Structure 1
Amino acid sequence: MKTLKYIFIIALFLLAGNTYAQDTVRKTTRAERQEMKAAEVRQLLESKKFVFQAQYANPLGGGVTTLNGRLFNLSPNGNGHIYLNYNYDFKIRPDSVISYLPYYGRATFDAAYNSPNDNGVMFTSTKFGYSAKAGKKGNTVITITPRDAKYNQKFILEVTDSGTATLQAIITNRNTISYDGYITEK
């Protein structure tokens, strides 16, 4: 009976040690995966050839817009966080910037609703300024200033090491809007 008790105690210690060893291996691989993802994101940003995929739109004023004198709430729960279910993106290339993003919010001048000129934040620019710098908490902040896109003044893209990003669009004739999403290679 004593030998059975000793075998049980030894097996218990071996099992506990094995579980601890597996836990440390899993933590190191998670850290390695995070570092690999951060290196991949840095490489994408340095190549200046990536795509920001927008998942949510965050209009200034909480997603409330006026149409024909009536207020409409565009977000389902009233917080201004609008889910985008189409392939809205902002493509950055070394020689061009291509924006295909929706707009929710107020226009201040020269933008009639439902007109051929009212097409969201959609343009192609070949003359633009591009500057990247380190931001808070290790994020990278990229500022893009298109010179040949009417009313589109500045775009500020803040990218984390994991690839999630926020794009803020500053437009002359409309309220500011931001988009949440991630960057990818395309």
Structure 2
Amino acid sequence: MKLLKNISALLLLTFIGINAANAQSTSKDRKAARALAIKNMVEAQNYVFKANYVTPMRGAGRSLTSDYDLAVSKDTIAAFLPYFGRAYTAPYNPTEGGIKFTNTHFTYTSKAGKKGGWSVTIKPTGKDKNISDWRDVQTLRLDISADGYASLQVTSSNRDPISFNGTIEKRVK
């Protein structure tokens, strides 16, 4: 009887160990697949940064409850982001607040990071005829982790810098 209990306990522990090992390998497989998908999106310049938290230079950070994003493709960047902070000049159109523009003339540089992430720098060149498309944004810098989390720093010539945290997602055309 004692032998039966020992065998049952051993089988139970073996079963639990096998299930835990399978769960870990499945988790690692999902993480590797996500990292590969992020890598492909960054290299193809085809993704959307979805902002969920903002940190202005002055004042406290806050969670964002609406959809704000930066869409990146090979030929266009489109920003729809809020702005909290000091602006040194008034906008051309007072009904348009935030960081909102679409630009087809920009430089895009990406570097692989040490831990599998990427550092992406986007600089609008301002060659578009409509100056309100790029306004005063000088640099957009994205630091992207292999897991798909990212931070975006926006540097402007007429506003204080601002940072956003969020995720990288597949761009739907």
Question: What is the TM-score when the length of structure 1 is the normalising length?
Answer: 0.83
CA shift at 1:135, angstroms?
A: 2.5
Return the alpha-carbon distance in structure 2 between the equivalents of residues 126 and 103 of structure 1. Answer: 22
**What corresponds to 2:94 in structure 1?**
115
Match of 1:134 among 90, 107, 112: 112
Structure 2 gaps of 5+ residues are 127-133
Over the matched positions of the two proteins, sequence identity in percent amounts to: 33
Return the alpha-carbon distance in structure 1 between the equivalents of residues 157 and 62 of structure 2. Answer: 22
- Asked whether 1:104 is paired with 2:80, we answer no
Return the index of the structure with the highest Cα Rg: 1
Opposite residue 143 of structure 1, the aligned amino acid is: T
Opposite residue 173 of structure 1, the aligned amino acid is: N
Structure 1 gaps of 5+ residues are 64-79
CA shift at 1:138, angstroms?
A: 2.4
Opposite residue 125 of structure 1, the aligned amino acid is: N
1:143-162 pair list within 5 angstroms: 143-148=121-126, 149-162=134-147
Q: Cα RMSD over matched residues?
A: 1.6
Return the alpha-carbon distance in structure 2 between the equivalents of residues 96 and 158 of structure 1. Answer: 19
**What corresponds to 1:181 in structure 2?**
166
**What corresponds to 2:62 in structure 1?**
82
Return the alpha-carbon distance in structure 2 between the equivalents of residues 86 and 136 of structure 1. Answer: 33
Return the alpha-carbon distance in structure 2 between the equivalents of residues 175 and 20 of structure 1. Answer: 54
Return the alpha-carbon distance in structure 1 between the equivalents of residues 115 and 46 of structure 2. Answer: 24
Moved over 4 A (4+): none
